[in-house]
Chain A
Amino acid sequence: MKLVIDRVSKQYQNRIAVDRVSATLQKGVYGLLGANGAGKTTLMRMLCGILKPTGGTITFDGIDVSEEAYRAVLGYLPQDFGYYPEFSALDFLLYLAALKGIPKAQAKRRARELLALVSLQEAEKKKIKTFSGGMKQRLGIAQALLNDPKLLILDEPTAGLDPKERVRFRDFIQTLGKDSIVLLSTHIVSDIEHIADEILMMKAGQLIYRGNWAHEKGDLEEFYLQQFEEEGTHE
């Protein structure tokens, strides 16, 4: 199981959002840190096939990101996502299960399993428009797991979760990382400090640091802040 990101770039007219990023990821949890405008979301969107790279390639076990077989093993939670207003939590999961190619009977079982996992089983028939931000985020996490993905990309997954939910989420991600490649981006250093097998740091579209963060290297948050304290970052 290998995700190969080979000199991937994304350029918009006069701005380079991602600049020749290369990395090979295997099973485990990878934390992607970076300030606003560093290129994290752009990189994640390219890894999910939502944006086409201007240069470079992305492959999972040799399958290119543009192919259906790549998307079949992918689970993605965007930073922001909407919903069709008539959908309940269960309807939402069943709809996305159909898009992921999961047959209806299996989808229903899996949806109910995941709703229980994210503590939304009581709300399965409630309309999503009545959900709080945290409930919506948990539903988003559930949909990312529908197809038991080998590659899980989570963009700011803990936004809106309360501290107890964040701890549960961290434990859960650690379990997932044993059998899948999990890449999660966050501003909250403590979310990944203890669970990430590797930290990747982005600044101005480039990967400036990659490695295991051991405690003897000092405080990760301090190191992270040092990288960004002078830069006038922009959105």
Chain B
Amino acid sequence: MKHTISVIVENKPGVLARVAGLFSARGYNIASLAVSETLDPTISCMTIVVEAEDEKILEQIKKQLNKLIDVIKVTDFTKKEHVERELILVKVNCPVKDKIKLEGLLNKYIAKIIKYKDNAAIIEVVGEEAQIKQLLEALNQFGVIDLIRTGKIAMI
């Protein structure tokens, strides 16, 4: 099961390595990670998405995260009502003749072409996981050339 965990930390060098180390030491792959300063510039927020086969190990990781001196708070959003968003950039093949069709598709989502050059469009998409997945499948008909994601962020 996928877990979205928010870790509030001191905004200091080395903290990311400490947090990441707890996952890597147990052979856990971080699916996505978004880190940034918060309203208080001395504090950063890390939103970590991790696939946990064993809930017990995840529970252990959360406890270990809490033990880190630089970690102020750990919240597992998975079982809480929350909103989450991710931004992705996706480049697709799009000859001029297909541009209207592509725009028609994008209109159904929070998505738009932000650059168009050499018969290819770079599209910006914002949304929840399910919406993004749906759109990406639909974009396959154009031919996806490249894809990059920010990783999920979440808020209660």
Please determine whether chains A and B interact with each other in the same assembly: no
Chain B residues packing against A (C-beta within 8 Å): none
Chain A residues packing against B (C-beta within 8 Å): none
